[in-house]
Structure 1
């Protein structure tokens, strides 16, 4: 099977933007991957890609972990990613892609319009944020933005924030990899991309960390939201027009 180089370039861009913007690479990687692979294959590749990406973040941003959030946000995330991954088996790919497009549109508009949106730093909100982000990650492949919104309420130092988010995300990805494997989402013919994606996860995280030193995260966050909005629109329009995969 021939490797699509342009897809790998997009994966690298997704990792850099996800690291700097604070949303995680899956919010870009999943919809972009849908232009090249079927939705189920993208879910499987995303889980494997994220394992490397999150290990890199934990290592590069190792400034301590927030144990409260790992317990009250991380545990429900893991439980509900199993539920979301299991449910994805019973929805066809058109519905899943449409839900993803609507999710991206709603998410980006919410953050762009309500720039000062905050969640109260409570145990209840941590449990709820973990459950929703985990379920979304299992069903649609991405839930980092919801987790980020919940975590932002605790006003952590940037490196602690990223390391804690990456640790929780690693727990989610490790769990859903088994669920997706059982679902048959990890295909032999897609495994050729795995070594490249593992390397991209490391390189993209490293580049994202370097960029964070020179450019305020807030500016990149706005740029990321605009890109998420555009990707969401393209995803929905593609479905309505009935276009298949795109090749370059």
Structure 2
């Protein structure tokens, strides 16, 4: 059942997010969290996200702006490794709180609480008009790389911050999309090298068939998204998903999932 749900989520999300402001990882990670421990779910999502970005490199990577890649990408690579390392550290921490509801016992752990807070923050960025309109001057691109890379490594949330900084970089639509894809792939590669030190022995290998099917679904979705949705704006859907992410964050923070 989890293969069907995750693959369908990857396929639909890849279609809808090819040119929109929210990312594959933002939506797919909570779906993985329903079936796997939080830290492993983020790693599995990272693998699917990485190979989906590699596919998109062949479609739009040629349009990437090299200057922006250097100014934003180099700090992002370092920060992504740091964020991934921090995820590994807090995943080993003891529960902050344990409580019972009826016959069920729930635990609030540092990693779940951290990811829940980040989910809420990034969901609010799509729900609050003022936050949605924030655009940051291009002189802060290296700082943007640090933020996007760090949170990409810690929770997989890199796209919203990246867009907020790149939108002011004076890029054409094609360059904006191509640069975003290349930066996403660089951040994914950086964090996956850190995740590998832990998760090759903690469930990643056992779930390779699931990752391959989900990746294939995402690639097919990205291909269709490139063909069908170049001029579509998905504001309503974006906000609807943000509400769902907020509800998932509450459940995650409370230890229910």
**Partner in structure 2 of residue 208 of structure 1:** 225
Aligned structure 1 segments of 4 or more residues deviating by more than 6 angstroms: none
**Partner in structure 2 of residue 24 of structure 1:** 23
Per-residue CA shift, 1:166-223, capped at 9, x if unaligned? 10111111122211011235522211212212212311211222332352x3xx1452
- Structure-2 change in CA distance of 1:212 and 1:159 (3 Å): farther
Q: Describe the SS at the equivalent of 1:20.
A: coil
Q: Describe the SS at the equivalent of 1:32.
A: helix
**Partner in structure 2 of residue 60 of structure 1:** 59
Per-residue CA shift, 1:14-66, capped at 9, x if unaligned? 22232232332111111221011111221221221122211222222245211
Q: Describe the SS at the equivalent of 1:159.
A: helix
Moved more, 196-205 or 106-115: 106-115
Report 1:8-19 matches (<5 A).
8-19=7-18
- Structure-2 change in CA distance of 1:196 and 1:9 (3 Å): same
2:191 paired with 1:192: no
Report 1:1-248 matches (<5 A).
4-62=3-61, 64-92=63-91, 94-111=109-126, 112-114=128-130, 115-122=132-139, 125-184=140-199, 187-215=204-232, 217=233, 220-240=234-254, 242-244=255-257
- Structure-2 change in CA distance of 1:186 and 1:73 (3 Å): farther
Alpha-carbon distance between aligned partners in 1 of 2:51 and 2:85, rounded to the nearest angstrom: 23
Are the equivalent residues in 2 in contact too, given 1:101–1:233 (CA < 8 A)? no
Are the equivalent residues in 1 in contact too, given 2:86–2:154 (CA < 8 A)? yes
Moved more, 17-26 or 103-112: 103-112
Instruction: Give unpaired runs (5+ residues) of structure 1.
Output: none
Instruction: Give unpaired runs (5+ residues) of structure 2.
Output: 93-108
The structure number with the bigger radius of gyration is 2
Q: TM-score, normalised by structure 1?
A: 0.86
Q: TM-score, normalised by structure 2?
A: 0.83
Q: Describe the SS at the equivalent of 2:63.
A: coil
Are the equivalent residues in 1 in contact too, given 2:80–2:152 (CA < 8 A)? yes
Q: Describe the SS at the equivalent of 2:19.
A: helix
Are the equivalent residues in 2 in contact too, given 1:22–1:162 (CA < 8 A)? no
How big is the shift at 1:238?
4.3
Are the equivalent residues in 1 in contact too, given 2:19–2:177 (CA < 8 A)? no
Alpha-carbon distance between aligned partners in 2 of 1:87 and 1:119, rounded to the nearest angstrom: 26
Are the equivalent residues in 1 in contact too, given 2:11–2:219 (CA < 8 A)? no
Q: Describe the SS at the equivalent of 2:163.
A: helix
Alpha-carbon distance between aligned partners in 2 of 1:15 and 1:164, rounded to the nearest angstrom: 18
